[in-house]
Amino acid sequence: MVHAMSWQLEEWANDPLVHNVIVVGSGHRGLCSGGDIKKVRDILIDTSASPHEAIGFWTAEYALDALTATYPKPYIPIMDGVTMGGGAGISAHGALRIATHTTAFAMPETIIGFFPDVGLMHELGAMPGELGMYLALTGATINGGDAVRLNVADHLIPHDLLDQALTHAGEADLEALRALCRIDDTPASPSVREHLAWIDACFVGDDVTAMISALRHRPEPEAGAAADALTARSPWALTVTAHALRRAQRAEDLQAVLRQDAYLARHFMEHPDFVEGVRARLVDKGSQPQWLHATPADVPDAELMNLFAGGPLP
């Protein structure tokens, strides 16, 4: 699918009959990955397969994400329903990103022993306060309103106006599409920003152990729930993600973040938490993963120093 989509976008880029590209998911979960992750795990546990095949997938996927961000024609993802993982990657960097009232946006990769990739640390790192760190580590889901507020979407439309939006986009009538979006650009739906006080207080720095401790000392029940979410996730993935996000905040642009993603993905392929996390979450659904390290405090500093040695990642 990654190769087919990349090929088609390249074909359309030079086609004078194509004015813009609309991306929609098939069904409520159409912009949510999972099958790709299971396939990569199958490659890694297959002794007859080459790990380069798995690395090749990430390379192709990140190239597609980069293409969506630099596409010469309006690239319009409509994030209706669940938008996560690879689905978020082909959506969040577009030119005119549309969310709806059914949008459920998240990057939950730490629960499978991976990290928020597909360039999303570029957007997460630019969010106000420590919201990006909170979302990156906990994998919490935000609604369509927050997707707009936190700049992973540009506009929000009511779900029942989706057919009209698709019609305007298909007719390349972008002004009519924007006018339709203005109906509900600033929704009054509940916002994760209401919890900014404890999130900002607890998700500072890059020490996950300190974050969990700070969350346990907060009176808000949501803070305790966030601590529980962190303790269920891969300590290795959490620790690397925290450091990688801080680096992404200093990155020059999306391309630099995608280069960091490619570098990290190769290393995660060699770490047992990825294979174990995918098994527990996506293969033997609901089983308890056995992470390599018991807690983030048990992740050796030397491992992080070796991973992030040499200054900015290539």
The domain of 120 spans: 2-307
* Count of structural domains, the chain: 1
For residue 6, tell me if it sits in a domain.
yes
The pLDDT value recorded for residue 187 is 53
What's the pLDDT score for residue 188?
Answer: 56
Q: Report d(CA 276, CA 58) in Å as an integer.
A: 19
What is the C-alpha to C-alpha distance for residues 210 and 297, in angstroms, rounded to an integer?
A: 9
The predicted pLDDT at position 30 comes to 86
pLDDT at 202: 98
Question: How far apart, in whole angstroms, are the C-alpha atoms of residue 68 and residue 89?
Answer: 9
Rounded to an integer, what distance in angstroms lies between the CA atom of residue 235 and that of residue 111?
Answer: 10
Q: Tens of pLDDT along the chain (314 residues)?
A: 999 999 999 999 999 999 999 999 988 888 987 778 888 888 888 877 677 788 888 999 999 999 999 999 999 999 999 999 999 999 999 999 999 989 999 999 999 999 999 999 999 999 999 999 999 999 999 999 999 999 999 988 888 888 888 888 877 787 888 787 766 655 556 789 899 999 999 999 999 999 999 999 999 999 999 999 999 999 999 999 999 999 999 999 999 999 999 999 999 998 999 999 999 988 888 789 999 999 999 999 998 988 988 555 55
Whether 256 is in a domain gets the answer yes
Class of residue 35 by CB neighbours under 10 A (exposed 0-12, middle 13-18, buried 19+): exposed
Task: Kindly state whether residue 10 falls inside one of the protein's structural domains.
Answer: yes
Q: What per-residue confidence (pLDDT) applies to 312?
A: 56
Would you say residue 190 lies in a domain?
A: yes
- For residue 314, being part of any structural domain is answered with no
CB 133 within 8 A of CB 257: no
CATH of residue 190's domain is 3.90.226.10
pTM of the complete model beyond 0.85: yes
